[in-house]
Amino acid sequence: MKEDKRERIRQASIKVISKKGFYNTRADQIAEEAGVAVGTIYNYFSNKEEILEYIFEVELKKRLAFLEELENKEGHVLDKIHLFLQKHFNEIIKDPKVGEILVKEKQFPHRNNLNAILGYLKLIPEKLTLLLENGAKKGQIRKCNYKLIGSSLFGAIQGVVEVAIQNNELAILNEAADELTDLFFNGLKIK
């Protein structure tokens, strides 16, 4: 019941924020879209930023859970990365509105210095870094600066999504997983 209302507000927020941007979205616009009163929003979120954080949280938890699953599985690191890319790009193709928010609002400046979004967001390249490190340990890829390459991979993913959304070419994402894996496969194979 409680989660129901929270979810309704999240969905409404995604709709409005993806269209107007978080900065230009007013609390009452979210309320109207969600079919509740403004006050109700504040029964489920303590402030506007928290809604945005929640949107990121939901998406990022999905990715992190998937990455953790992958960590515990056997298999080649680059296959795992390939699976992750497929998963991520598919989610975005499925719900481009959320994708747009992930791309555009990631750096939204929080009033307090605790930026929950960046907190979550850091976990992804960290997981990727770990994946690479373990892959190298198992001799699946060459040694490298894992953190640096992990961050690059994470950045590359975002670069692709950014371009796809900016130019309204979601189709590009369909081949993106293959191309990127290919790039990193050759780039990281044992010499």
Binding site for a copy of itself (CB under 8 A): 21-24, 103-107, 109, 111, 118, 122, 125, 144-145, 147-149, 151-160, 162-163, 166, 172, 175-176, 179-180, 182-189
CA distance 23 to 16: 11
CB of 7 vs a copy of itself, minimal distance in Å: 25
152: partner contacted, choices DNA, a copy of itself, none (Cβ within 5-8 A by kind): a copy of itself
Regarding 1 and contact with DNA (CB under 7 A), the answer is yes
Which of 87, 147 has the CB closer to a copy of itself? 147
Range 21-80, binding DNA (CB under 7 A): 24-28, 36-40, 42-44, 46-49
CB of 178 to a copy of itself, least distance (A): 9
Question: Which residues bind to DNA, rule: CB under 7 A?
Answer: 1-2, 5, 24-28, 36-40, 42-44, 46-49
